[in-house]
Every structure is written in C-alpha cells, then in structure tokens.
Structure 1
Amino acid sequence: MYSLSFAFLFILISVCNTVPTKSSNGCGYDACNLGDPNKLNVHIVPHTHDDVGWLKTVDQYYYGARNNIQHAGVQYILDSVMHSLEENPDRRFMYVEIAFFWRWWNEQTDEMRNKVKQFVNEGRLEFISGGWCMNDEASTHYNSIIDQFSLGAEFLRDQFGECARPKIGWQIDPFGHSREHASILAQMGFDGLFFGRADYEDITQRSKTKNMELIWKASANLDRQSWLLTGVLPNGYSAPGSFCFDLFCDDQPIMDDPHLHDYNVPERVKAFLDAAHNEANQYSTNHIIMTMGSDFQYESANQWFKNMDKLMKYVNAQQTNGSNVNVFYSTPSCYLYALNKANHSWTSKTDDFFPYAHHPHGFWTGYFTSRAALKGYERRSNNVLQVTRQLNAFAKTNLRNSTFPLSEAMGLVQHHDAVSGTEKQEVAFDYAQRLADGIDSAVDVINRAYSKLLPLDEKIPPKAPQFLCQLTNISECLPIEGKNQFTLTLWNPTVHTISQHIHVPVTKKYSIRDSTGHVISADLIPISEPTKNIPGRKSFATNQLVFKVILPALGFNTYYFELKTDNEDISITHNEECILQNEYLRVDFDDQGNLLKIKNFKKNIVVPFTSQGFYWYSSFPGNNSQSEFQASGAYIFRPNSSDPQPVSDKRTITCIKGEIVQKAVIVFNKWTSQEISLYDDSKGVEVEWTVGPIPICDKVGKEIILRYDTDIGNQGKFYTDSNGREVLERIRDYRPTWNYTKVEDVSGNYYPVNSRIWIKEPNRQFTVLTDRSEGGSSIHDGSIELMLHRRTLYDDALGVGEPINETAYDQGLVVRGKHFLIIESPSSSALYHRVASQRLYMRPLATYSLPQLSYADYSETYRQTWSALVKDLPLNIHLLTFEQLDTNQYLIRIEHYFELNEDTTYSNSVTFDLQKLFQTHGIINGIVELTLAGNMPVNDMQRLEWITIDKESSKMDKPKMMSVNDLNIVLNPMQIRTFRVTVE
C-alpha cells in the first residue's frame, strides 16, 4: 500500500508521464487514436443520451423546465460540453439527437458556430447516427425511419459538410432491434451499429463466447449491401460501476492530492483496471469501449472531463509498473475503426433481436401495441406527409419549408419513447398535437398545389379551399353535413392505377358524379350503433355513402356530390345466417355472429374458423420487486394467464348487403365490435375493429386481442414483417441464436407486426394485414392473434411511472383500426399481401371542398382528373419519396418492394425509365445517385471491409455512375435507390 502510494506521488510530480494522445489530422477515421497493438486499449466515449420526449415534452427537456419531474436541460448540456471541449483539445464527445442539436444551433452566435465547426473538423465532436431522434425499431415503419434519418443528415451536411456525416448507428436505448433497421443503416453507408439492450439470455451466452460483436447480415435479399458490424455495449450505455462523474452521481471523484486524508487514486485506478479486464473477458479483441455518460448527463461537463482526464493520466501511468491497459478519449467511430484494423474474423447473425427481455418475466412486448391510437395517427400522418410532398413537387409550388413542421413532428414521433407508446400521457398528447399542427401546415401546401392543378385557367384559383376530414374513420365530417353540394378530391400517391372503395358520412342522400360527369353507383349504408355511440362523436350523420373509384397513378380525380331523392336498395337482416360473396370470395357467418369459413373460389381454398373474435388477457399486477413480481405495463406484456378470456359469451350480427359492399356488423358487448366487409371486386376481407372504453371497474387491467383460429397446421411456425418490408420466420418457444428458456408462454412469443403476419401449410396461407403496428403471435397452431388495445392499472417500474391507462371524454379511450384478411396459396400470396399492404400504408388522400357552383359551372372551371404519368410503372415498383428540393431539383426514392423468390413474376429485377416520372416537369439534365439517407453520392461511399469466420468478405463492387444519357433504372428485389434529379 505504501509503495503504491509512493508511486503515485512520484507520478504526480513527474513531467514525463502524460496521457498518450493523437493530435488530429482531420475528421472521421483520420482523427482516430488506434491505441497500442500490444496493450488492452480502452476507448473512453463521453456521451449523453437525450430522449426527445419521455417523462417531459421535448420542449421541457430542451429548456430544463419542470425539473420536479426529471432534472434535464439539454441546452445546458450542449453549452457545457462545448466549453469543456474548448478547454482541452484531447477531449472527445459524441452527440446523437439532431432534434435537440438543431434547436441549440439556431440559438448560437457565429463565434460559437465557428468553434463547433472546428471541433467537428478536428474529430473532437462527432455526430453518431445523426437522425432527428434515436428511433424505436419495433413499431416504426421503414418509410418514416428513412425520413427521420434523412432530416438529421441533411442538417448535418448543410451545416458541417463531410466531417459531420455519421458512419455509425447508435441505438443504445431502444427495446429490441429489427433486422430491417440494420439494413437501412447499411444502405445509408454506415459501417457499424452499437446498442445497449439485448435479451438477458443472449447476452449471457455472447459474453461467455466473446461474441458481443458480430457481422449482422441484415437482409435476405441485399447480400453484402446490408452487412453491418454490430456490437452489444458492455454496460448498457452507462459508465462502469463507480465511475459516473455526473452532477447527480454519488461515485467518488478522483481525489489526487496525496497530502489529503481522502486521497483515493490507488483504489480508483485498481477499480478501473479490474473493470477493464473484466470487460475484456467478454470481447474478442484488445480493444474495448467504455461509455461515459447516461440519460441527460453532462449538464456540468467539466465535472466529467476533469475526472476523466485524471483517471486516464493515472491509469496509463501504471504501464511503467507492468499494466497492459492503455486508456484514451475516443468515439464510437474510432472504436469501430480500431476493431476493423484488429485483423479479426467475426461470427455472423441473420435473425433479429426480438423479443427483448431483461429477466425471465420481463418481456418488452407490450409496447408493440401501447397507445394504439397514437400508432395509428402516426401512420396516417406519414400518409399526409408523403402526399403533400408529391403535390408540392408536381404542382411546382416550391413550398418545401412549409412541409417542415410535419416532417419535424414525424421525426420526433419516431423516438423510442414516442410511437412506442412508452411516454407519459401528457407527452403523448404533445406528440399528437405536433402531428396535428404539422398537418395543418401541410393542408396549406395542399391548397397551394391544388390551386395550380385544379383550375382549367391557372389565373383563376379555386375560391373554396380544400380541407381534410380526419374523423371519417368514425363516420364524421362535420363541414359537409347538410350541404347541398360538395366535392371530394382523391390523390393517389402510388405509381399504379388503383381501385378504391370510399366511405363518406352523410345526413342526406346524394348522387355522385365522377371525373367524366357520369353518375356512379353508390350504396347508402347505415352507420352502425357502435360507431354512433363512440364518445366524442359529434356528427348527425346516420348513413355513409360507399362507392368505388378508379384513380390514376400519381394523380387525382374529383367527385361532385349533389342532393337527390330516390332510394337505394339495401338488404338488412338481424341475427340470421349471413353470407358475403363476390366472384373471388365467400365469407360465411352463422346466426350467432360466428365467422365459420372463408373460401377463395379462384384457388378453391377453404379456411374454416373454429373461432374468431375478441379476447382479453388480464394484466399481471405485480409490485416489480423481483422478476416473478413483474407487472404488465407500458413496456412489459405479462398476462396473468396464458388462456385469454372471451370478451363476451354471445354476440349479435347485422347483415347488410348492397351492390358495392356487403357487411356483417358483429357486436360483442358495449366496448367491442367489428364490421367485416367484402367489396364487389375485393380479393381480401376487411375487418374494422372497435375496442373501448375497456372497463376496469373490476380493478383488473386488460389487454385486448383479436384472434383468428383456423385449422391450418402451421407446426409452431409463423411469419412477421420487419418495419413493413422483409418477412422473418418465427418459431414458437425458439430463438435461432441461443437455447431459449421458456418462461412466459404468451409474451415470450410476441413479435412486432408492422404490416403483416401469416401462417401457412403447403397449399394454404392465411395472412392478416394491419393498418398500424401491433404485437402479434401464433400461440397455438392454426391461430393468429393481434393485440389491439391495452389498459393496465400498474406501472412496470421501467421509468415511465404510469400505467398505460388512456382516457378520453371521462372514460377509457376508444380505438378503431383495420385488419385485412387474405386467403391464398403460399406461391401466390405475395402478390396480394405486398400490394395490399403497400396501399394500406399509402392510401389515397381525400380532401373536401364546398364550391358554390352547379356541376355544369364546376366542370367548366376546374380540371377533374390529372396524372403525372402517361403510363403506370411496373407493379413491383413503389415511389417511396418524391420531394421538391428547390425550383429545379428533386429527391426521388424508388423501391422494389417484393422479396426474392416470393413471386414467379414480381420477384425478378425490373427496369424503368426515370424520365417517366418527370413528364410534366421537363427533361432531366442532371442526376446523382445517393445513399439511402440522401446525404452522399453512392460513388463516394467507401465502407469498411469485414471478414467473417467463414472467410466471407463484406466488400462490394462500386456502383455504376449514373448519366442523363441512360435513365433506365434497374431495381432488384427489396432494393431502394435514391436520386437527386435536376430538371430543365
């Protein structure tokens, strides 16, 4: 002890022992200290994790308001960090959430901005991930993931240039990790991904075998384009035990004056060396990472940096006494680069990291469904955003800045405590308000665009504005009620002509003229009692007009409504057998409202249903003191029993048959009902479900599922999508990566369902499509269940501090959504589920107007149909992004949305002429292909090469340079290509 103290006294007065550093030669990998090849290199990574909303709103977190809820003020964190970086050029810091940094940047002086740019250019400040937020990976759709990354990447590129371009994904806090998300990062040109959470059994196995870092082969279709070095961090994302130096930490600082009684350098150094060696035992190279920071830390950055400076100094000094530990400031990029240079071969992985559990009873599968209404609103808001961008681009209104409020709101809502449903109720309201305000701004853009597209004479803009009716899902559109005439304009955002069935709630009878002036058929269908009784519904409408439209690709049709007096021929029966039938399908119900079977006539496939309906799991009411007492809450799904209870022992059925639609309205009780519809030309069955207010007068939390029980022998296998794109096989009570211990029969088998789930036999496949993200599974052979809504009474002790108990109008919240059922052979299912799912997420946008004109005058004044395309693009192509950047420049993303070997026709490569998208704009005279985030030409992308233990290399061929002389674009299955196009 005395000799060790003496050694530290000697070090204190010595001038020759200093922290080994590497003076920056630039940014990125060029700025990296790669350590000593003969030592254990400890990369110290200072960081803060700043949720863009969780316990407080994003505004409150930024300004440091309401610290009684949680002490956090991001503006002070960034102020303090920049001052500390200025104090010592050896220091490093990384930052992630651009939603916060953008706000802070807008408040800075030119002097501070120049300092920050210098930090970035010298590699001292590094932006990691670079998205608007650190997004959730379970309940997010790939379109919105790409958008939120692109929003942040554009800001970084414009303000800082190439030195700020992120190369590493940093998903340290999301609750499970999707394969598609990793693939997206790889397609953005990222070299690696680090995260903090993985299943407790997975981590135990990986730490024993030193496989905490691996090559994630993140696509079954894109091969090496999707490979990503992926690492599980050693301490979640916190500092090693006893080394938190934040303002609110209780760990001892480095007290290095040996004349003082509390001098603690020897024990602090020993503890650090022990922590480094313990961590090294779990990792496979002589490089390890230590994350120094946590949630909203570094408000007093000097406190952190001063202690880390000392710690590194004294730890490295022990090398003279034989220590092999070399510690220095680093960043995630530099740590990854060091791994790349370590000449190591890596294991690989092809599945995902769902579901995530932190102990045997703690499966984080409840948030797959939590706040189902917000999940639905987020998906619908994305629909509005994409249509607004298209209208702005095709009308050439150059109002991109006016779409920013909705883009920014959507970026925030992708956060892992936003669309996930794991925020406090007040914060959820704030997210919804931001989306609503963003949509209001989008409506202004829509009106400006239609003012150019609608009039036959552009000098005469429409006198009546277009408006959205956002409550038509509950058959309410107050502005049109009782009007003698109104118009409905439908914009089709897809590159294909589509057939769609439209519902318009009305208080009177109307005839409908299509875009050619012809009166079209419509069914006047009574609005169901469950709909009319939804709390908060203000409409007097008792009927809805249902009619079919054919919409042009990337274009609109306008439909003119005017009063009429004749009656519609509608058949209605109550509590009798009911058969819904068209030329493709037959759906049978008995007189008790039980779904008996669905038959596909064309394929001669019948799927009988042993039962179909609503059930509820009772939420476990634990006190969270130990694993076995884990409660079900916002994050956790833990049912009290593996056998859910039916919501009702009986039900009623009303059978409604018109020419356009046939419908079975099935009421289970006062708070659950479904309307099962078959349209005249539909090849699938629509199920519109309504759940709520969920009763809790019995003091029992309830988690509501809609279950479809068939005779399909799926042998424990089922299939779910990943963020709306590729589909993964799931096997009940099984994990591909480790020997799974079955503890929770139900929640341990739940997976995120963003768009589809299916079960199959060799000749039959039953697929359910969803209109939002839901948790789902096949708990028993032949069965698919999807969780629709949750109301729990206990907090699960994971931070949010509230049960998931949503209310509205002084009672439990009512949620309504849709499923779409497809009965097909496995060989032909992809054609139907791919197309139908794509159109569920990107539906025609309906805007209404109240022109005070007769139809004759209206048709002479306004264009009633328009399309940007002369001819549809191939069916397996989807236009993901069409956005005007400035007067003559556009950002385009085109995707092939079929997988390999799904369909004999549509799973093949496809070629099309990009000029066809610009037939209304002019001639393309400039084109650059970009990475997926849109922030770098693909020809400039130089990803690191990795080698697997099977001697496979991640190296790819350089892409072909684009030229305006050849605009034929080739797309392979699941490929997304991004272009910046300049038009004359």
Structure 2
Amino acid sequence: MHPVIYYTIIFAAVISTCHGTPINSPNNCGYDACNLGQPDKLNVHIVPHTHDDVGWLKTVDQYYYGARNDIQHAAVQFILDSVIQALLENPDRRFIYVEIAFFWRWWLQQTEEMQNTVRQLVNQGRLEFVSGGWSMNDEGVTHYNSIIDQHGLGAEFLRDQFGECGRPKLGWQIDPFGHSRQVASLFAHMGFDGLFFGRVDLQDYAERNKTKQMEMLWKGSSNLGEESWLFTGIIPRTYTPPESFCFDVFCDDEPIKDDPQLHDYNVPERVQAFMNAAHDQATGYATNHIMMTMGSDFQYENANQWYKNLDKLIRYVNAQQVNGSDVNIFYSTPTCYLYALNKVNRTWTTKTDDFFPVSLNPHGILTGYFTSRPALKRYERYSNNILQVTRQLNAFSNITLRNAIFPLSEAMGIAQHHDAVSGTEKQHVANDYAQRLSQGIDSALYVINEAYKKLLSKENQSLPVPTQYLCQFSNISECLPIEGQDSFTLTIWNPTIQSIENIIRVPVTKKYTIQSPTGETIAADFVSISLPIKNIPGQTSSAQYELLFGTQIPALGFNTYYFEAKADATIEEKSTIRVTQNEACVLQNEHLRLEFDDRGNLNSITNRDKNITLPFSAQGLYWYTSFQGNNSLPEFQSSGAYFFRPLTPNPLPVSNSRNITCTYADQVQKALIIYNEWACQEIRIYDGARITEIEWIVGPIPIEDGIGKEIIVRYDTDIQSDGTFYTDANGREVLERKRDYRPSWNYTVYESVSGNYYPIPSRIWIKDNQRQLTILTDRSEGGSSMHDGSIELMVHRRTLYDDSLGVGEPMNETAYGKGLVVCGKHFLLLEPPESSAFYHRNIAQHLFMSPMGTYALPNVSYANYSKIYRQTWSALTESLPYNVHLLTFDQSSSKVFLVRVEHYFELNEDETFSNAVQFDLQILFNRLGRIAELVELTLGGNLPLNEMKRLVWITNHNESSHWKSTDPNFLTSTVVTLSPMEIKTFQVTLQ
C-alpha cells in the first residue's frame, strides 16, 4: 500500500473536520473534578505521571513497542495498558498524560469498548491530558510556527475524541533545557491557565527556593499585555518523586509494608519520612499547597505497583491527622493544583525575562544543544517550509488531500521534541528523525503534484501536467532529475502574501536560455560551482556550473521558468565574468560595498544608501577546544551534546592563512575564502540586494589530534555595544542580553563563554547610536557577543567525550565514512537602528517561508508549453499590508479552512509598520469563494475564543491578568485588526 494511502486511512479514522461535532460529556472534569484540600492543612497534591520521550536513546517506534531494551527498558504501549487498568480499580486515582504522538498510536490499536472506557475516565477527570502537543517541544531552538503546529495537531485529536474534557488547561514542560518567554506567550494564547517545568539554573533555583518565589506570573510578551501573562511554577527535583518514594518496578526504594505482624513492618517510618519530605518541600513555596510528581521517565509499566503503594501512603499519612499532623495528601493533577493556588487568593511576583541559559552544575551549562546536529536543525526548518507550502497548494487547488499531508505534519510534531531538533539524541535516533521527515516530504510531494495538476492546467486542456520534482540537494548544487536534460521547467511557489524578488541558482552541465512566464528571455549568469561544494562527501552531481538569475514571484502564487539548452553555445565561449585570485578586491552594488584585502580579510561593509561604514577588525572561522573530562565532579565536566564547555575562553583561528578568489558577474559578486581543506566561506552580494549573504562550509572537523572542536563564525567590529546584544525568541520577539548578567538574580560567573551563550533561532544584533549589525541565520544556532562590537555564532561541533546527561555518546557526527560536512548561511544587515526592523523582520519571514521550487521535464517546446499550461498565478486579487504575515492556511474540508494571520512587527520597532493594521480576510479567499461564517479560535485552534475563560491572577503590584472579553456571537465582518505581534486564528467556512 502506498504510504500516503495508508496514512490517510489511519489519520481519517481518528481525526474529523474542524467543525465536527464535539464529544458530549458531563461537566465533572477539569476544575470541577478537583479536590482543593483543607484550608488548615499542608495539602500535598500527588500527581502520578510518566515522562515518555518521543525518541531519545531509542526511536519513537522502539519506545512504543519496547524494542531494544538493551539500550533502555521502555515500552509505552504497556504503560498505557497498565495505567488504564489501574485507574479502573479505584475511582480516587488520577493520572496525567502528555505526549499525544504515543497516545494517538495506542488509541488506534484499542477496541471501541476500550475507547469508550477511556472517554469515561477522561470525562470524570481521572485521566487528564496536559500540554496536549504531539511531543513536549524544546523551547530554545524551535520556531514558533512549528510549536503552534505540533500543539494544534495534538489539540485537534483530543478535541475530536474527547471534547471539552480532553482540552488541556496548562503547559507541562518538565524536561526541556531552558524556557522561552515566547513559549509562555504562545501557551497563554492557546488558552492555558498555567505552566509547570522542572529545569532552571541552579543559582536561580536556590534564590527562588530561599525566598518562596518558585511560582510567579510570567509576562510572556512585551507587546501583548495581560493576554500573554501565564502563571508559572517550578517543580522541585525536576519531575521525580521525593527521595525514597519511587515505587516503580525499576526503583529500589522500600515499598510500604503495612502488616503489623511482619518484623520489617515500616509504616511509621515511611509516614514520617514522607511528612518530613512534604515539610521540606513546602519551605520553598508560598502557600499551603505543594505538588509532588510521582513518576519519571517511562514509568508505570506496572502501574499496580505504583498505585498500590500510593493508596497505602495516602491512607496512612492522612491517618496521622488525628494525632496532630498538618499533612493532607491526595491524588491530584497539575490542573487541580493550579486551581487550588488560584483559589488561595494571594498576589504573585512577576518575571519578564526568560530562563536561558540553564546551569545544571557550575561548569555544566546547557548551551551546546543550541548548535548540536546543525544539519538536522536545518532539515527540520526546511521541512516546515515544505509543510506550509503543501498546505497552501492543497487549499488553493481545492483537492482536499489534507490527510495525505499528515505524515509530514506528524514527522514535524515529533521533530519538535526536546531530544529531537535539540540534537541531544543518540545518532541512530537522529537518523530516524531525518528519515521520518524525508518520508513526510515524499508524501507531501504527492499532494504538490496533485495540486499543480489543477493549478498549472489551462482550461480546455487535457494533456497531463508533467511530474514535479523537489531537488532537496540544491543547497550543495545538486539536482539530478534535470542533469543533462535538453529542456526542463522550474516552478516556484511564493508562500508569503507579498510578491518577492529572489535570486535563483540552478546547477547545470551546459548553457540554457531561460524563458520567463511572459515569454521574455531572462539574463542569467553562468558561473562555476566552487571546489569546496563539489568536494562535499556524497555530492554526486556532474554539474560544474550554476545559472543565476533574478525573479519576482507573485504573492501566494507561482511563476514557471522554461529552460532550453543552447544548441550553438559551448562552455568555452568567451565569458563576461571576471575573476581575481589572492588580490585585494571590492564587491559592490547600488546599495552595498564590501572591501577585502589580499589575505581574505573583510575590512569593511558600507551601506551606500545611508552612508554608514562598518570596519571589521576580524571576520571568519574560529574554534573552541572542547573540555574533555570524566564528569566525576563539576570541574571535570566535559563538553558534549548538551553542554558547551570550552577549555579556554579564547577561540583559535581555523587557519592562519587564507586564499581569496573574487568573482564578478552581472547578477552576483562574491568572494570565496578558503581557510583549509575543511573550512571556507563564500561572501556574496546580489544585484539590487541590501543584505550580504555568507555561506559557510565546515567539515569534516579534524579530530586526529584527539581534540574536540566547536566551530564559530565571528564578526568583530568597532560598534560600541557596551556589553549588550539582542537575540530573538523562537523567531518572534527579541530580548536584550547583557554579558555576565541575569535580570532575575545576582549572577556568579563560572563559565565566562558558555554562560553568555543564548539560542539564536533566527537573529542576533549589536548596535550603537548610528549603526546596527544584524545577523540572521538559516537554522537555530548558539551565539553571543563575547566582546564589545563582536558577534559570534556556533555553526558546527565535534566532541570526543560524552557529557554524562544520558545520551551516552559524544557529539561526533559522521557521513560517508568521514566527519559530517555542514553547509549553511548567515545574512548580514547593516542599517541605522531605527530602520533595521523594516528589513530584518521581512528577511526573517522569508527565510522560514522561502519560495519552493519544483522541477519538471515537459518534453514539449516552449511554444507548446505556453499554450497548454499556466505559467503564472496568484491566489490574491488584491494586495495585503506589508506588516501582515500568513502563518497558516490549512484546508480542513472542501469548505472549511483553518487560517492564522499575524502582525510580525513589535511595538516601537518601526515608525510605520509597528502600528495596528486592518485588512479584509476575504482577500485570501477571493479565488475560492465567499466567506459565510468566521469563528475566531484560540491559538491552538481547538476552542472558539469567546468560550475561553482563563483564571485571573493578581500580581504583587495589583495588576490583573484578566483576559479581555470577546463578542459571544460569530464575527459579522471579515475585516481583521492586528496589533503588533498579535496572532489571530480563524475557522473559515465558505458558502
């Protein structure tokens, strides 16, 4: 069976359309099912849970079925089997579940009778879903688009199978390695009332525990006000039980032996130990409620063992109340604990920064994963690009193949897991993640072809549309389907709502003429592919040249370009391209000027429009020596997949000498700087461009000297940045950073470099009064400003020691029998601070929503092709505002769509585009039909916004988190107003 058909069947079995009938359930779940304890007691909320990594040491499949238990004993299917049976035995018992990727798979294998039994448990609040994402996503290196998508995928399943009682009410991020303010804001807009997590910096934890500030109101956005605030709590012990109270089959703690006739009867000492643990934990919290997590990684495979001991513990601890004990213990959930805190009616401290970076010991700082597995990080970002384009093509062609997109949606949901895109998994698991993305893209390509069959065909034409091919190795100048062909087409889809100008690079073996969609011949540069690209292991193309040409692609639409081999041209014919080697050179266009010396040093960049120049004292590739220790003590902490710990604070240059080759063509001017056989940069400016593109190729990183190396690209300028720099959070809002400083506590520096590293999912900048240097990335990377005027970004790592956090392997990726070679890009923008946002916001959007090109072999002449097929098309008949972005355009059924639109500027960033904006949503649907009904939803897409009622919290400054009320009726107008950084989600039904 074709994988697309298979996935369509199993997905359709459990997912209904967006406007499907919800499951009716009695109103005794959620807060209505909560035990709020006793006001005069220390109320201990016992929360049975399992933390099931969606891949880590084993693959998702291996974890679910219990395969490869020689690596780690874990079998999720048996956990769920066991928990459900244990819950049925005692109505007091509770359990929470998080990872829908696993639960969905288990659900498909259950009988209808079992499914109805589980629904009853959910309706009674005995089984509760928290977070509800396909996975527990990482927060440092993920992009907000993918975070929303993976939560939406899980939320849709829960809504369709369990109705309102299946809707999660809080975030449960107990294992990620740092926590983003942007994620808190997203969760608030999903309708969550709170968030709990377990990992914070050890210095931060100590101070909060001492001052009873383990719980707070987190102001998730500096733009969106109270609607982005989220009550947030830090869980002690990360997410494990108190010491000596783990009752899992794999734990060695003493069970409760309650037969008084036994010589080792232990109820009194176990009760006393528990009450001591409860009082110890309560010292760090501000109310008479505490939460104890009873569970850990892949626990409850034998749930009876856990629950039998917990039943006894609850009974015997509470029995001591008649003897004066103030401890009241009962089964609960994080939702009920949150509700109890809300009912305490007190004020709470606030937080406005984030929880990065996180130190687990003085020399172990979780900053290595910001860069670990850079190729997988890029592939995940690229896969999201394909996913969004495929959804749009499916919708605008109205082929209703949403279920066939599910394999890629699911693979992306899995990839957001905090041991997936983070790069902190075993190598064979990383390979599995990549394979899932690849298979998902294959299924998406089926949808793409079906869509283009409709969009490319002109009316009254019956000839088949040529098969479209994705060239996924275009980044290394390889596209085998078109190699050596006499003619081919390139169709480029623009997923943004503004037309864009783009430079296209097509690897070829001979010269071609290029016909535009309107029939004109397009001028193109015919340039040699650089030797470092051709030498990348695994590169099998025989193409020696690239065709470079400029395009302008219509908004939400496509252009097709027709390539025909020149019959009378040879490669040897006279070229207008000029090349210099090891000479000082200048690259320039009408907007930019770059000056290099004869040793390959970038001396300066000039913005010619604004007449500002930025001198560089250094720019290039450097490496930190990885600390290699045995991890026995903090001072012997190694650098590895999670931790970045350099041996010394001073990086070394990759090479003390360089070769520079400068190339001048009509469309591009570039400087190829080769450091050695494993490191190079190619710095380019294109005709008409205002940004500088820097492509770097790093690897195989040599380790023959027994030294692990962490490679950075560094940009040293004369900007007086005063220890301050700025980094984005998950591709959206930007936070100010200060070197050797934390806004929330008095920070003691143990690691001067790693302690100043932050995740850079999209961009970083430094500035003074006149100049701002912004660097945008094509994937998440770790970065910092270690000196005034300097920016550094880590692009690749190869370590030789494990860092003892469980993965059991060094960060030592290989491919084709050699160390992994990674190719990536940085984009440099030099502007005055007041105009920078206009450019970097737009560039960032186009980097994660890039035009997607597909190739085809039409086997007809251009004259015939132009008669048979449509060569340009746009979904838009009217323009939309510049500061609006189409985040999601997903067809649920033939007449129902899920749409997210966003304002992608922050307050006060730009004099024009930081203002609120209005536009008519109908413009997006003019090609499809008239909007008959418009319902605004929460960000997760699983609840009408007017039905959302969030808990209200009061700060210690008497501020209220009250959410503004919305019109209880369906929207009567299709005109949408967006404030800066606002995302709105709609269910759209057409006539």
Give the TM bin, normalised by the shorter chain. over 0.9
Kept after mapping to 2: 8 A contact 1:170/1:195: yes
1:769 aligns to 2:776 (yes or no): yes
Number of the residue aligned with 2:812: 805
1:855 aligns to 2:857 (yes or no): no
Query: Where do residues 442-841 of structure 1 align in structure 2 (5 Å cutoff)?
Result: 442-457=444-459, 460=462, 462-564=464-566, 565-566=568-569, 568-841=575-848
Number of the residue aligned with 2:140: 138
Cα shift readout 1:248-299 (whole Å, capped 9, x = no counterpart): 0000000000000110000000000000000111000000000000000000
List runs of 5+ in structure 1 lacking aligned partners: 1-23
Question: Which amino acid in structure 1 is aligned with residue 832 of structure 2?
Answer: S
Number of the residue aligned with 2:331: 329
Query: What is the number of equivalent residue pairs in this alignment?
Result: 961
- Cα drift, residue 963 of structure 1: 4.9
- Cα drift, residue 459 of structure 1: 5.5
SS in 1 for 2:364: coil
Number of the residue aligned with 2:41: 39
Number of the residue aligned with 1:936: 943
Number of the residue aligned with 1:73: 75
- Higher mean alpha-carbon deviation, 280-289 vs 566-575, is at 566-575
Kept after mapping to 1: 8 A contact 2:469/2:854: yes
SS in 2 for 1:358: strand
- Cα drift, residue 813 of structure 1: 0.3
Kept after mapping to 1: 8 A contact 2:217/2:349: yes
List runs of 5+ in structure 2 lacking aligned partners: 1-25
Number of the residue aligned with 2:397: 395
1:214 aligns to 2:221 (yes or no): no
- Cα drift, residue 957 of structure 1: 1.8
Query: Where do residues 84-233 of structure 1 align in structure 2 (5 Å cutoff)?
Result: 84-233=86-235
- Cα drift, residue 563 of structure 1: 1.2
Kept after mapping to 1: 8 A contact 2:27/2:123: no
Question: Which amino acid in structure 1 is aligned with residue 821 of structure 2?
Answer: V
- Cα drift, residue 747 of structure 1: 0.3
Compute the TM-score of the two structures, normalised by the length of structure 1.
Answer: 0.97
1:870 aligns to 2:877 (yes or no): yes
Number of the residue aligned with 2:8: none
Q: State the distance in 1 between where 2:93 and 2:784 align.
A: 48
Kept after mapping to 1: 8 A contact 2:469/2:481: no
Cα shift readout 1:597-639 (whole Å, capped 9, x = no counterpart): 0000111111000010000001000100000000000000000
- Cα drift, residue 241 of structure 1: 0.4
Cα shift readout 1:425-457 (whole Å, capped 9, x = no counterpart): 000000000000000000000000000000113
- Cα drift, residue 534 of structure 1: 0.5
Kept after mapping to 2: 8 A contact 1:368/1:774: yes
- Cα drift, residue 871 of structure 1: 2.4
Number of the residue aligned with 1:349: 351
Number of the residue aligned with 2:295: 293
SS in 1 for 2:386: helix
Q: State the distance in 2 between where 1:71 and 1:104 align.
A: 18
Q: State the distance in 2 between where 1:451 and 1:795 align.
A: 51
Structure 1's consecutive aligned runs of 4 or more residues displaced over 6 angstroms after TM superposition are none
Q: State the distance in 1 between where 2:652 and 2:688 align.
A: 36
Cα shift readout 1:777-802 (whole Å, capped 9, x = no counterpart): 00011100000000000000000000
Kept after mapping to 1: 8 A contact 2:452/2:465: no
Kept after mapping to 1: 8 A contact 2:935/2:971: no
Alpha-carbon spacing, 1:683–1:715, altered in 2? closer, same or farther (3 Å) = same
Q: State the distance in 2 between where 1:957 and 1:419 align.
A: 35
Q: State the distance in 1 between where 2:272 and 2:196 align.
A: 28
- Cα drift, residue 463 of structure 1: 4.2
Kept after mapping to 2: 8 A contact 1:716/1:732: yes
Kept after mapping to 1: 8 A contact 2:453/2:465: no
Q: State the distance in 2 between where 1:849 and 1:963 align.
A: 45
Cα shift readout 1:744-772 (whole Å, capped 9, x = no counterpart): 01000000000000000011100000000
Kept after mapping to 2: 8 A contact 1:925/1:983: yes
Question: Which amino acid in structure 1 is aligned with residue 950 of structure 2?
Answer: R
Q: State the distance in 1 between where 2:466 and 2:111 align.
A: 45
Kept after mapping to 1: 8 A contact 2:29/2:123: yes
- Cα drift, residue 960 of structure 1: 3.5
Cα shift readout 1:2-26 (whole Å, capped 9, x = no counterpart): xxxxxxxxxxxxxxxxxxxxxx960
Query: Which of 254, 261, 270 is equivalent to 2:256?
Result: 254
Question: Which amino acid in structure 2 is aligned with residue 187 of structure 1?
Answer: H
Number of the residue aligned with 2:11: none
SS in 1 for 2:341: helix
Cα shift readout 1:52-72 (whole Å, capped 9, x = no counterpart): 100000000000001000000
Q: State the distance in 1 between where 2:28 and 2:825 align.
A: 53
Number of the residue aligned with 1:18: none
- Cα drift, residue 458 of structure 1: 6.3
Question: Which amino acid in structure 2 is aligned with residue 732 of structure 1?
Answer: R
Question: Which amino acid in structure 2 is aligned with residue 886 of structure 1?
Answer: S
Q: State the distance in 1 between where 2:942 and 2:46 align.
A: 29
- Cα drift, residue 591 of structure 1: 1.0
Query: Which of 45, 55, 60 is equivalent to 2:62?
Result: 60
- Cα drift, residue 959 of structure 1: 2.1
Question: Which amino acid in structure 2 is aligned with residue 822 of structure 1?
Answer: L
Question: Which amino acid in structure 1 is aligned with residue 630 of structure 2?
Answer: N
Identity of aligned residues (%): 67
Kept after mapping to 1: 8 A contact 2:463/2:868: no
Kept after mapping to 1: 8 A contact 2:936/2:971: no
Q: State the distance in 2 between where 1:461 and 1:913 align.
A: 37
Kept after mapping to 2: 8 A contact 1:452/1:458: no
Question: Which amino acid in structure 1 is aligned with residue 900 of structure 2?
Answer: R
Q: State the distance in 2 between where 1:126 and 1:771 align.
A: 38
Number of the residue aligned with 1:966: 973
SS in 2 for 1:519: coil
Q: State the distance in 1 between where 2:972 and 2:65 align.
A: 52
Kept after mapping to 2: 8 A contact 1:452/1:461: no
Number of the residue aligned with 2:851: 844
Question: Which amino acid in structure 2 is aligned with residue 295 of structure 1?
Answer: D
- Cα drift, residue 872 of structure 1: 2.4
Cα shift readout 1:553-610 (whole Å, capped 9, x = no counterpart): 0000000000124554111111111111111110111111110100001111110000
Q: State the distance in 2 between where 1:468 and 1:723 align.
A: 27
Number of the residue aligned with 1:8: none
Number of the residue aligned with 1:275: 277
Tell me how large the CA RMSD over aligned residues is: 0.9
- Cα drift, residue 709 of structure 1: 0.4
SS in 2 for 1:43: strand
Q: State the distance in 1 between where 2:585 and 2:499 align.
A: 33
SS in 1 for 2:900: strand
Compute the TM-score of the two structures, normalised by the length of structure 2.
Answer: 0.96
- Cα drift, residue 900 of structure 1: 0.2
Number of the residue aligned with 1:11: none
Q: State the distance in 1 between where 2:465 and 2:182 align.
A: 46
Question: Which amino acid in structure 2 is aligned with residue 91 of structure 1?
Answer: R
Question: Which amino acid in structure 2 is aligned with residue 273 of structure 1?
Answer: M
Q: State the distance in 1 between where 2:448 and 2:463 align.
A: 13
Q: State the distance in 2 between where 1:537 and 1:955 align.
A: 57
- Cα drift, residue 705 of structure 1: 0.2
1:382 aligns to 2:384 (yes or no): yes
1:895 aligns to 2:902 (yes or no): yes
Alpha-carbon spacing, 1:458–1:667, altered in 2? closer, same or farther (3 Å) = farther
Q: State the distance in 2 between where 1:790 and 1:461 align.
A: 51
